[in-house]
């Protein structure tokens, strides 16, 4: 009987190990497919940025909207109201005091910024691979991407590394700048949306 129990336990252990190995076999293409199932997504964010010379992180929070074709809208609610719209056409910033625009034709790097943010928030690994070496670990229950800028990428002048974690959507983004300043972004209440909000039309 004891020998039978030993065999059963061994079989269960082997099956569990095999299942674990299978679950962890998540590659970049599969992750992109998982995260791009919805073309438009809305949610909330909390961002904490640690700056040298400041004793406490700077904290902002609000809502965000993502459209794989239009771009990203970052609506800050606290500590002050401000809306930043990133798209291939450029960047637009709106507050109760002023509205400003920057064109990607005048500043080509803005297009890179838009692709970088889309890549992080939507898990678009093809966009990220152009500028980063990517190390992916985990499975669909919990995955982590560690990104290191490529030597020839202009992003390397700004960032030392990035890390993105999540499940069915990205949930945590950590950015470390070349000045050793840290930015932590937590995403929550994410869900697919059918209609793009009129008040946040992209430029």
Q: Is residue 185 part of a domain?
A: yes
For residues 126 and 187, what is the distance between their CA atoms, to the nearest angstrom? 21
pLDDT in tens, 56-77: 889 999 999 988 877 888 999 9
DSSP 184: E
Whether 4 is in a domain gets the answer: no
102 within some domain: yes
d(CA 109, CA 155): 10
Residues 184 and 178: their CA atoms lie apart, in Å, by: 15
Which strands make up the sheet holding 90-94, listed edge to edge?
A: 99-103, 90-94, 82-87, 71-78, 58-67, 40-50, 182-192, 170-177, 159-166, 143-149, 132-138
DSSP state letters, 62-80: EEEEEETTTEEEEEEEESS
- Which residues, 6 or more positions from 122, have their beta carbon under 8 angstroms from its beta carbon? 35, 36, 41, 66, 68, 170
For residue 120, being part of any structural domain is answered with yes
Query: Rounded mean pLDDT of 21-38?
Result: 72
> Which residues 6+ apart lie within 8 Å of 141 measured at CB?
23, 167
Q: Tokens for 71?
A: 């771009």
Residues 134-183 pLDDT 10s: 999 998 889 998 999 998 888 888 888 999 999 888 999 999 988 888 99
* CATH number, residue 48: 2.50.20.10
Specify the pLDDT at position 191: 92
Whether the pLDDT of residue 22 is over 70: the answer is no
DSSP annotation of 124: -
In a domain, 109, yes or no: yes
Q: Please indicate whether residue 138 or residue 16 has the higher confidence score (pLDDT).
A: 138
Say if 11 falls within a structural domain: no
pLDDT score of 140: 82
Domain that holds residue 181: 26-194
Per the structure, the count of domains in the chain is 1
| Residue 51 falls inside a structural domain | yes
Q: What is the pTM of this model?
A: 0.78
Q: Cβ contacts of residue 84 below 8 Å, gap of 6+? A: 73, 74, 76, 91, 92, 93, 94
């Amino acid at each position: 009987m004891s020998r039978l129990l030993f065999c059963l336990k061994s079989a269960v252990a082997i099956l569990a190990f095999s299942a674990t190995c299978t679950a962890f076999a998540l590659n970049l293409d599969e992750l992109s497919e998982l995260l791009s199932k919805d073309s438009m997504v809305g949610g909330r964010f909390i961002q904490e940025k640690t700056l040298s010379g400041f004793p406490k992180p700077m904290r902002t929070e609000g809502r965000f909207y993502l459209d794989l074709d239009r771009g990203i809208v970052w609506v800050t609610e606290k500590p002050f109201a401000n809306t930043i719209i990133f798209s291939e056409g450029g960047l637009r910033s709106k507050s109760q005091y002023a509205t400003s625009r920057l064109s990607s034709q005048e500043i080509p790097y803005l297009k890179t910024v838009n692709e970088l943010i889309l890549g992080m928030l939507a898990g678009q690994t093809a966009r990220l691979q152009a500028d980063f070496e990517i190390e992916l670990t985990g499975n669909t229950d919990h995955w982590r991407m560690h990104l290191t800028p490529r030597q020839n990428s202009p992003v390397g002048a700004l960032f030392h590394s990035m890390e993105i974690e999540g499940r069915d959507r990205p949930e945590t983004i950590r950015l470390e700048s070349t000045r050793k300043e840290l930015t932590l972004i937590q995403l929550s209440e994410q869900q697919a949306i059918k209609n793009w909000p009129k008040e946040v039309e992209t430029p």
